[in-house]
Structure 1
Amino acid sequence: MTKKRNKNPYGEVYALGQHISMSAHKARRVIDQIHGRSYEETLMILKLMPYRACYPIFKLVYSAAANASHNMGFNEASLVISKAEVNGGTTMKKLKSRAG
């Protein structure tokens, strides 16, 4: 039995970041700034922005570029962020222990 590999006809590469403990609203504030920009410009913006959400997003963009250059042979200078989205994840319940 062989597995079928779906080749992407548009040459799109993606990276998923899961289980990042951060508010989706705070991460969207950063994502909105990088949508539609080039790879190098995106890295520069993420390094200079003062938000805590920048570092996980920086790692994701860097990982997607590494996937593109290694797996598909793309040049990193020609990459563009075409789609970036943030969805809400699981919420943790915080309990205060009390007597009684």
Structure 2
Amino acid sequence: MVYRIKKKKTEVYALGRHISLSADKARRVIDQIRGRSYEETLMILELMPYRACYPIFKLVYSAAANASYNMGSDEANLIISKAQVNEGTTVKKLKPRARGRSYAIKRTTCHITIVVKDISLDEYEYESLYSFKNPRWKKTAMVDHDVYSSGVVWDKK
């Protein structure tokens, strides 16, 4: 019998959208925490002097809460497996200037995704490729039609 190795789901994520912050400034902080443990990440984010640390801290905390609620995992076993920042929409405003002119102000936003992985749940599940309960092939009857012995006689007139 042939088996396929299927990995159990061990990752949970938290997504922050439309955070009023530049994507480049958020990436500066995200690059420091990628691949680290949960407790080490919280310490780093508390001690870094950037404004982007607070929303990222909230997202890491939320991802850990999602992992403990959905999978029942302990916070000591969590690591930050993926962390990415994408650019969001740009809010455009007009500021009044001298002589009745206006000046455009662009406020950039970003979307931050934090994926937390539980390293204690890294197990594999074996799944049979050929299951007889739910076969992947259709059962069809093979009928062999022989043209010459069909019993039909053609007459030429």
- TM-score normalised by structure 2 residue count: 0.56
- For 2:48 and 2:96, the matched residues in 1 are separated by 38
Matches within 5 A, 1:45-56: 45-56=44-55
Structure 1 residue 66: deviation in Å?
Answer: 0.4
The structure having more radius of gyration, on CA atoms, is 2
Q: Report SS of the residue matched to 2:30.
A: helix
Runs of 4+ in structure 1 displaced over 6 angstroms? none
Matches within 5 A, 1:22-61: 22-61=21-60
**Alignment match, 2:12:** 13
Structure 1 residue 93: deviation in Å?
Answer: 1.2
Structure 1 residue 92: deviation in Å?
Answer: 1.3
Percent identity between matched residues is: 78
- Higher relative strand content: 2
- For 1:56 and 1:23, the matched residues in 2 are separated by 12
- For 2:34 and 2:84, the matched residues in 1 are separated by 9
**Unmatched runs of 5 consecutive residues or more in structure 1:** 1-7
- Higher relative helix content: 1
Q: Report SS of the residue matched to 1:70.
A: helix
**Alignment match, 1:67:** 66
- For 1:81 and 1:33, the matched residues in 2 are separated by 11
Structure 1 residue 94: deviation in Å?
Answer: 2.1
Length, aligned pairs only = 93
One-letter amino acid of the counterpart of residue 49, structure 2: P
Q: 1:58-97 CA deviation, whole Å, 9 max, x = no partner?
A: 0000000001011110010010000000000111112133
**Alignment match, 1:80:** 79
- TM-score normalised by structure 1 residue count: 0.87
**Alignment match, 2:153:** none
**Unmatched runs of 5 consecutive residues or more in structure 2:** 1-6, 102-157
Structure 1 residue 25: deviation in Å?
Answer: 0.1
